[in-house]
C-alpha cells in the first residue's frame, strides 16, 4: 500500500456540513472528482439542503454552490464547489470481489486519515455490479467517503446505511453528468433528478414549468452525442483491426451504454401536455434506443470474436445489424431538426446551458469555422481526438488520434472552449507556422504546425 499516495489523496477530501431547510444539521464527507469544481458525496446528506460547507484537511472552508447531479437509486450526488487548487481524484475501476480491501477516507476528532474495510457481500444487477456491503471497524459520520485503492485512486464511494456500510463502484460516479447546470440550494425541489420509472410525473417549482423537462432533454442529448462518438470509435476499432480476436471491449463502451440507458429511463418517465416537448421526447426515446442497440450489437460481435478466436459470419452479421440500427437512429432524429431549433429558441434553460459543441453538432447554430478537421470528439471532452480519419485535414496538420489539444498559437483552451476555437485559429493563420501543444502518449508535445495558404476544397463544409 502506497501510504504517501493515499495521504496525498486525502488532501482532496473534506468534511461536509449540511444545514437543511428544516433546521437539521448533518455531517459526512465529500471528495473532489470529475473536475476541480465538482465534489462527490452521499445523496441523502444533501437532500433538502439549504447550506452546504466543506472543510478540508488544511482548515480551508468553502461553501458549495449547489447540486449538479444525483443518482438516487445508488445514493450518489455531485455538487458544485469553488475551485480550490486541490487535486482532482482519479477514478479507476477495479474487479470487485468478496474479500477485496479498500482504504476508506475517514475523519475523527478533526484528524483526517483512512481506515481499511473489506468487501463482505457483492450484489449484482442486470448491468453488472451495483452495490457491495463492507465489513470492518470505522468511525461513524463519514458517509460519502472515497474508497481508495493501494495507489490512492478512487474505486468507489462508501455510504453509511441502516444495515451497514455500502460500497458503490466508481462506474456509477463516472456516470454522473458533471456538465449539468447547478441548482442552488433551496431554490426549488430536487424532484427533477428522480431516476425516472415509467409514469413519473415531473414536478416543477422553478420560473418556468418546462425548465425541468428542458434540463432532462439537455442531459439526454449531451449523453446521446457522446455515445455517438463512442459508436464511431468502436466501429473504427473493428474496421482497423479486422481480425482482432484478442481485442477486448473497452471499458468506456460499457460506461456509455450505462449512461445512455440511464438517460433513456429518465426521459421515459416524463409526462407533459406541451406538444413540442412531447414530440422531442418521443424522438429522443426512439433515436436513443436504436443507438443503444447499435452499440450493443457491436459489443456482442467483439465478444463472439474473442470466444471463437476469429471474426466470423456471426460477428459480421452483428456488425451489419449495428450499422442498420445506427442509421435508423439518425433517420428518426434528423427530420426533427426544426423542432429542436424551436426548442432552442424558446427555452432559456436549453440555450443558456447547452455546451457549445453540442449546439454545433445538433445544427442549432452555424459553426464559426469553414472546414472539417476529420476528428470525432465528445461534447464533454471536445479537445480529445477520439478518432481522426485517414487523409483528413487534422492528419495533414500533424495531429493523431488520441491527441488532446492543449493550446494553439499561445491560446490555452479551457472548459468553456470549443474545438471550433482551434479551427478558427487555423483559419486566421493561413500560410503561417504556429505552435500547437498536445498531450500525446501522456506527455505534452509541441507541434510546429504548418498551415496551408488556403484550406483544400475537400475539407470545406458544403454550403
Same domain, 173 and 63: yes
Task: Output the pLDDT for position 438.
Answer: 96
| Domain assignment of residue 447, yes or no | yes
User: Are 385 and 403 contacting, i.e. CB atoms less than 8 angstroms apart?
Assistant: yes
Of 355, 385, 412, the last residue of a domain is 355
Instruction: Tell me, yes or no, whether 360 lies in a domain.
Output: no
**What's the pLDDT at 388?**
95
Q: What is the pLDDT of residue 125?
A: 47
If you average pLDDT over every residue of the chain, what do you get?
Answer: 87
Q: What is the distance between the alpha carbons of residues 209 and 386, in angstroms, rounded to a whole number?
A: 38
pLDDT computed for residue 43 by the predictor: 92
- Render pLDDT for 233-288 as a digit per residue (tens, 0 to 9): 999 888 776 555 556 788 899 999 999 999 999 899 888 889 999 999 999 999 99
Domain-ending residue, one of 335, 355, 375? 355
User: Are residues 163 and 83 both part of a single domain?
Assistant: yes
Pairing of the two strands 387-388 and 375-376: antiparallel
Q: Are 436 and 449 in contact (CB under 8 A)?
A: yes
Let me know: does 104 contact 112? Beta carbons within 8 Å: no
Regarding whether 321 and 249 lie in a shared domain, the answer is yes
Quick one: DSSP state of residue 347? -
Instruction: At 437, list the grid cell.
Output: 501543444
Count of CB atoms within 10 A of residue 54's CB?
Answer: 24
Residue 66 C-alpha cell reads as: 449547489
Please report whether residue 219 resides in a domain.
Answer: yes
Separation of alpha carbons 393 and 456, rounded Å: 8
Q: Average pLDDT for residues 5-11, to the nearest whole number? A: 89
pLDDT of 421 above 70: yes
Q: Which of 298, 329, 355 is the last residue of a domain?
A: 355
Residues 180 and 240 in one domain: no
CATH number at residue 439: 2.30.42.10
H or E, element range at 305? helix 275-308
- Measured distance CA(321)–CA(317) in Å, rounded: 6
Q: Are residues 244 and 335 in the same domain?
A: yes
Query: What one-character DSSP code corresponds to residue 460?
Result: B
Q: Which of 24-38, 105-119, 128-142 has the lowest mean pLDDT?
A: 128-142
Do 262 and 404 sit in the same domain of this protein?
no
Average pLDDT over residues 40-51: 91
Residues 111 and 168 in one domain: yes
329 and 427 together in one domain:
no
- 136 and 17 together in one domain: yes
Work out the average pLDDT over 51-57: 93
The whole-angstrom distance between residue 77's C-alpha and the CA centroid of its chain comes to 14
Q: Number of helices (H) and strands (E) in the chain: give both, helices first.
A: 12, 19
> pLDDT tens, 191-246?
333 333 333 333 333 335 578 889 999 999 999 999 999 999 999 888 776 555 55
Same domain (yes/no): 303, 339: yes
Give the chain's domain count. 3
147's grid cell = 474508497
Give the three cell numbers for residue 353: 446551458
Backbone angles phi, psi at 16, to 5 degrees: -105, 120
| Residue of 176, 241, 230, 233 lying closest to 43 (CA atoms) | 176
- Confidence (pLDDT) at 245: 52
Query: How far apart are alpha carbons 361 and 424 in whole angstroms?
Result: 16
**Which span out of 94-108, 180-194, 200-214 was modeled with the highest average pLDDT?**
94-108
The set of cell numbers assigned to 19 is: 444545514
CB-CB contact of 181 with 212 (8 Å): no
Do 230 and 338 lie in a common domain? yes
- Band of pLDDT at residue 22, cut at 50, 70 and 90: confident
3-state secondary structure at position 39: strand
Q: What is residue 162's predicted lDDT score, i.e. its pLDDT?
A: 75
**Burial class for 404, CB neighbours closer than 10 Å (0-12, 13-18, 19+):** middle
Lookup result for grid cell 500533424:
398
* HEC profile of 355-384: CHHHHHHCCCCCCCCCECCCEECECCECCE
- Which of 170-184, 335-349, 400-414, 446-460 shows the lowest per-residue confidence on average (mean pLDDT)? 170-184
Q: What is the CATH number of the domain that holds 125?
A: 2.40.10.120
In a domain, 362, yes or no: no
Boundaries of domain holding 276: 211-355
Within a domain: 204: no
Say how far apart CA 289 and CA 325 lie, in whole Å: 9
Q: Tell me whether residue 308 is in a domain.
A: yes
Q: Are residues 134 and 59 in the same domain?
A: yes
Amino acid at each position: 500500500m502506497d501510504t504517501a499516495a493515499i495521504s496525498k489523496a486525502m488532501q482532496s477530501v473534506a468534511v461536509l456540513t449540511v444545514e437543511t431547510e428544516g433546521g437539521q444539521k448533518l455531517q459526512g464527507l465529500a471528495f473532489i472528482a470529475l473536475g476541480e469544481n465538482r465534489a462527490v458525496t452521499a445523496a441523502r446528506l444533501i437532500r433538502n439542503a439549504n447550506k452546504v460547507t466543506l472543510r478540508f484537511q488544511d482548515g480551508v472552508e468553502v461553501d458549495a454552490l449547489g447540486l449538479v447531479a444525483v443518482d438516487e437509486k445508488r445514493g450518489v450526488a455531485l455538487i458544485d464547489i469553488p475551485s480550490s487548487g486541490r487535486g482532482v481524484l482519479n477514478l479507476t475501476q477495479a474487479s470487485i470481489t468478496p474479500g477485496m480491501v479498500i482504504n476508506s477516507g475517514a475523519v475523527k476528532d478533526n484528524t483526517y486519515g483512512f481506515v481499511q474495510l473489506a468487501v463482505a457481500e457483492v450484489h449484482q444487477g442486470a448491468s453488472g455490479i451495483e452495490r457491495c456491503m463492507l465489513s470492518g471497524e470505522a468511525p461513524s459520520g463519514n458517509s460519502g467517503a472515497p474508497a481508495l485503492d493501494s495507489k490512492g485512486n478512487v474505486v468507489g464511494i462508501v455510504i453509511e446505511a441502516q444495515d451497514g456500510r455500502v460500497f458503490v463502484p466508481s462506474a456509477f460516479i463516472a456516470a454522473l453528468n458533471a456538465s449539468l447546470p447547478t441548482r442552488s440550494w433551496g431554490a426549488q425541489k430536487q424532484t427533477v433528478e428522480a431516476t425516472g420509472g415509467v409514469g413519473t410525473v415531473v414536478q416543477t417549482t422553478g420560473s418556468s414549468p418546462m425548465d425541468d423537462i428542458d434540463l432532462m432533454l439537455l442531459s439526454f442529448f449531451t449523453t446521446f452525442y457522446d455515445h455517438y462518438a463512442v459508436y464511431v470509435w468502436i466501429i473504427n476499432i473493428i474496421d482497423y483491426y479486422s481480425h482482432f480476436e484478442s481485442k477486448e471491449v473497452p471499458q468506456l463502451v460499457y460506461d456509455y451504454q450505462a449512461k445512455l440507458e440511464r438517460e433513456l429511463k429518465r426521459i421515459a418517465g416524463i409526462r407533459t401536455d406541451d406538444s413540442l416537448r412531447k414530440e422531442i421526447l418521443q424522438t429522443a426515446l426512439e433515436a436513443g434506443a436504436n443507438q443503444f442497440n447499435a452499440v450493443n450489437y457491436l459489443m456482442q460481435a467483439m465478444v463472439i470474436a474473442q470466444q471463437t478466436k476469429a471474426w466470423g459470419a456471426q460477428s459480421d452479421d452483428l456488425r451489419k445489424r449495428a450499422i442498420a440500427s445506427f442509421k435508423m437512429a439518425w433517420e428518426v432524429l434528423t427530420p426533427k431538426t426544426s423542432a429542436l431549433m424551436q426548442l432552442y429558441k424558446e427555452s432559456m434553460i436549453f440555450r443558456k446551458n447547452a455546451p457549445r459543441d453540442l449546439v454545433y453538432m445538433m445544427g442549432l447554430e452555424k459553426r464559426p469555422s469553414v472546414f472539417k478537421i476529420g476528428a470525432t470528439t465528445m461534447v464533454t471532452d471536445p479537445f480529445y481526438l477520439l478518432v481522426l480519419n485517414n487523409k483528413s485535414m487534422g492528419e495533414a496538420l500533424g495531429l493523431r488520434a488520441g491527441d488532446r489539444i492543449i493550446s494553439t498559437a499561445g491560446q490555452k483552451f479551457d472548459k468553456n472552449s470549443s474545438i471550433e476555437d482551434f479551427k478558427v485559429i487555423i483559419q486566421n493563420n493561413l500560410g503561417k507556422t504556429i505552435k500547437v501543444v498536445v498531450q500525446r502518449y501522456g506527455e505534452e508535445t509541441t507541434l510546429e504546425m504548418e498551415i496551408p495558404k488556403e484550406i483544400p476544397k475537400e475539407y470545406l463544409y458544403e454550403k
